[in-house]
């Protein structure tokens, strides 16, 4: 029962993701679909920058709450001094009533450059006069270079009692507007994928 509760806990978010795809996913064997309704789930965003961590956890907790869970940002429960003590951090979350946790971590951020070929209509070059005339008349498209920002995020869903990994994934998001948009998009895509794989029950 605890595993089922936690799994649901897992189910996040809200909007539709249009630029996030998964490079890998894993589901714990034998885990049945669960509903997050009314379950307290800790939102954890791993970042060395405290401001980024808090912003990410606030957004993730809000998305979990919109799913029907009771989302709680881990920074409001776990003291900063426990970052190196996982067992103590887990106990603080359990004492706060959380039976599940959703953890996100940015694992890479890359620039991807793509080239779209253009079009050029040749002009006669045998004589200067015709070439001059035709070159000015011809429509030429030299092509374009597009630079995209690709952010890879690792998402893990845990049961806290017992301490068990229920779901793991790595995703790629293209050109997220900001941190809030990235967290919401990854959470939404994760919820859909978990539902597709039978881990998240329909509301």
Average pLDDT along the chain: 85
Report the relative pairing of strands 40-46 and 70-73 from DSSP bridges.
Answer: parallel
Residue 50 or 117, more confident = 50
pLDDT at 14: 34
pLDDT at 203: 61
Number of H helices and number of E strands within the chain? 5, 8
CA distance 197 to 102: 17
CATH 3.30.43: does it fit domain 2-106+151-196? no
Given a cut of 90, whether residue 51 has pLDDT beyond it is: yes
Q: How far is CA 109 from CA 44, 115, 170, 173, in A?
A: 19, 20, 13, 10
Sign of CA dihedral 48, 181, 104, 36: positive
- List of residues 6+ apart from 153 with CB closer than 8 A: 104, 105, 106, 107, 170, 171, 173, 182, 186
pLDDT range class, residue 76, cuts 50, 70, 90: very high
pLDDT, tens digit (0-9, with 9 covering 90-100), for 79-133? 988 888 999 999 999 999 998 999 999 999 999 898 888 766 666 777 888 888 7
φ, ψ dihedrals at 113, nearest 5°? -105, 125
pLDDT at 126: 79
Average the pLDDT over 65-81 and give the result: 93
- List of residues 6+ apart from 193 with CB closer than 8 A: 22, 25, 169
pLDDT at 28: 93
CA distance 189 to 74: 22
Choose among 1, 4, 68: nearest CA to 34. Answer: 4
Choose among 63, 85, 52, 90: nearest CA to 74. Answer: 90
Given a cut of 80, whether residue 53 has pLDDT beyond it is: yes
Residue 80, number of CB atoms within 10 A of its CB: 8
């Amino acid at each position: 029962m605890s595993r089922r509760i936690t799994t649901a806990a897992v189910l996040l978010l809200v909007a539709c993701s249009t630029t996030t795809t998964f490079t890998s996913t894993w589901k714990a064997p034998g885990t049945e679909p669960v509903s997050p309704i009314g379950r307290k789930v800790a939102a954890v965003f791993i970042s060395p920058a405290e401001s980024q961590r808090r912003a990410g956890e606030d957004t993730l907790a809000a998305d979990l709450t919109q799913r029907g869970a009771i989302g709680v940002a881990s920074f409001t429960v776990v003291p900063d001094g426990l970052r190196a003590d996982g067992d103590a951090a887990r106990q603080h979350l359990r004492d706060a009533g959380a039976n599940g946790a959703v953890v996100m971590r940015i694992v890479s951020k890359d620039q991807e450059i793509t080239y779209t070929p253009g079009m050029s209509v040749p002009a006669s070059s045998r004589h200067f006069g015709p070439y001059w005339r035709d070159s000015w008349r011809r429509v030429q498209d030299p092509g374009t270079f597009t630079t995209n920002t690709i952010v890879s995020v690792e998402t893990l869903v845990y049961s806290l009692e017992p301490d068990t990994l229920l779901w793991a994934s790595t995703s790629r998001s293209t050109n997220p507007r900001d941190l809030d948009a990235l967290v919401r998009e990854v959470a939404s895509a994760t919820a859909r994928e978990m539902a597709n794989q039978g881990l998240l029950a329909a509301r």
